[in-house]
Amino acid sequence: MPDRGFRNDMKTLKIVCAQCDWNGPFKDYEAHFNESHPNPICEFCGEQFTSNIRLDEHKQRECTEITQLCPLVEYGCLSSVRRIELGHHYRSVDHQRVLLNIVRRLSAKPAHDPSERGSTMDVDIAPNIAGSLSTTTTTSETLSTSIQKVCEAMNTLASRIQALNDETQRVSNESVRLQSSVESLTQELASLKLSVQEQGAFLDGIKPNQEILQQEVASLKQKVDDAQYVSYDGTLIWKITSFQEKMRDAQSERQTSIYSPPFYSSSSGYKMRARLYLHGDGNARRTHMSLFFVLMRGPNDAILKFPFNYKVTFCLYDQTPQQRHIIDSFRPDIQSSSFQRPRSEMNIASGIPKFYPLVEIQRKDNPYVREDTMFIKVMVDFGGIPKTLLPYALSLNPGLPEHEAQRRIQEEMKKVSSQWTIEQGQQAVLVVREPEQQPVMGEEDEDIRRIDEPEEREEYRFI
């Protein structure tokens, strides 16, 4: 990321122009350079450049018209030649004469007199150039041979220098090509960055739609799952899996309650569901499981009768052969808003806060949770089953077809009614009782544990 403070500090720096005498703050330098020196020109070849850096590189490596002095200018070679002709100058007669004169003078002095040799090198030998040929002719044959070898070496060196110059030119051209490629790649990178930013903005735009779609998919999944367990006979067997995990969620209050799938009294009847607080609710919190009945808004509420006044029974299944189920029930209070026609998705839940003690349900060997699964049956009594027959009705095999279960309940009702009539036969009196007024069976006569309750039960409502 650009450092804004550093950038501001840079703007205040004092700058001296490389092309003229201008000086000032860095922030004004670019404007001055673009105005006064927009395209610097090489004074030797006239080529135009976009920056001083390129112009300097051109002068140092590329310009063939720039002039240079001969390296032997101190010894009498006064030629000033263009860079491109420097190799040819090295092979010229004048340059070779200077070389021969230097070699002759060096060879004429004793090797042990460095001071005198140095003074010889410092003298101006230009006046002697004209007489160098006559002096060379009087040199011994050995010296001539040595000089010839030196000339050949110098020629070889000159050719190699030319090769190096050519290679330098090639490298310089390659550098220009690479720089051009870098600029092109930089432009492509900027284009890619812009494309990525546009795609990021597009993805940010569709992200809310994706979240909405995910919510709709989750809702549809929940509806499909609920449809797998839908019931249309006023009863629901609710299978609660992952019991321990749900209990931990309730204890930590991550999810204090869970809902059962909806069920119906008939294909065009009331829509209902159960709500379970595994760790209790209200005054039963941390002591009992709380189980409630919820009346939901259904598609056919306009033709149904309200308030809802049918008895609701809950049964916690004992999953062992003893089948000591936990049964409890209540009658709706028709004055309560919980049992009026629903105006929202669900009415306020009503039910039994202290349905079953947590101490019992949390025992490892309790019969109601097996393989981390619990079963609860919710039954709405539309037919007026007597209290005495509730244990029998709930102990029937849930795998029986509904019509078979109803047939067996009716037969049991007739059997109980006949037994009651025979017991009163000695008095020749036939007593007809309403089902709710029949005697309650004692626990010693039952195979199912039952929690009896008074006829008038207090109603519990929770939001």
Q: Which of 28-37, 44-53, 411-420, 429-438 has the lowest mean pLDDT?
A: 429-438
Q: What value, to the nearest 5°, has the Cα angle with vertex 346 and ends 341 and 349?
A: 95
**Rg (Cα) of the chain, in Å, rounded?**
55
Residues 95, 79: contact at Cβ < 8 Å? yes
Give the confidence band of 383 by pLDDT, cuts at 50, 70, 90: confident
**Average pLDDT of 77-95?**
78
CA distance linking residue 333 with residue 62, whole number of Å: 104
Give the confidence band of 297 by pLDDT, cuts at 50, 70, 90: very high
Q: What is the DSSP string of 3-66?
A: -HHHHHHHHTSEEE-SSSS-EEEHHHHHHHHHHH-SS-B-TTT--B-SSHHHHHHIIIII-SS-
CA distance linking residue 53 with residue 37, whole number of Å: 13
Q: According to the CATH classification, is domain 232-462 in 2.60.210.10?
A: yes
Is pTM beyond 0.85? Reply is no
Task: Tell me the pLDDT tens digit for each residue of 202-245.
Answer: 888 888 888 888 888 887 887 776 666 678 888 999 999 999 99
Q: Across-strand partners of 41? A: 48
* Cβ contacts of 383 within 8 Å, gap of 6 or more: none
pLDDT at residue 442, rounded to an integer: 29
Q: Which of 7-11, 102-106, 375-379 has the lowest mean pLDDT?
A: 102-106
Residue 327: CB atoms within 10 Å: 22
Task: Tell me the pLDDT tens digit for each residue of 96-137.
Answer: 888 888 887 776 655 445 444 444 444 344 444 334 334 444
CA distances from 311 to 141, 369, 384, 457 (A): 141, 26, 8, 11
**Average pLDDT of 363-379?**
93
CA distance linking residue 388 with residue 400, whole number of Å: 21
Task: Tell me the pLDDT tens digit for each residue of 408-438.
Answer: 877 877 777 766 554 444 333 322 333 333 3
CA distances from 260 to 240, 241, 319, 329 (A): 9, 12, 19, 17
Residue whose C-alpha is closest to residue 435's, from 452, 451, 405, 414: 414
Compute CA 90 distance to the chain's CA centroid, rounded to the nearest angstrom.
70
Locate tokens 């490892």: which residue?
A: 364
Q: Which helix (H) or strand (E) holds 191?
A: helix 141-228
Residues 62, 168: contact at Cβ < 8 Å? no
CA distances from 421 to 102, 262, 409, 411, 426 (A): 154, 41, 18, 15, 10
Residues 395, 385: contact at Cβ < 8 Å? no
pLDDT at residue 210, rounded to an integer: 84
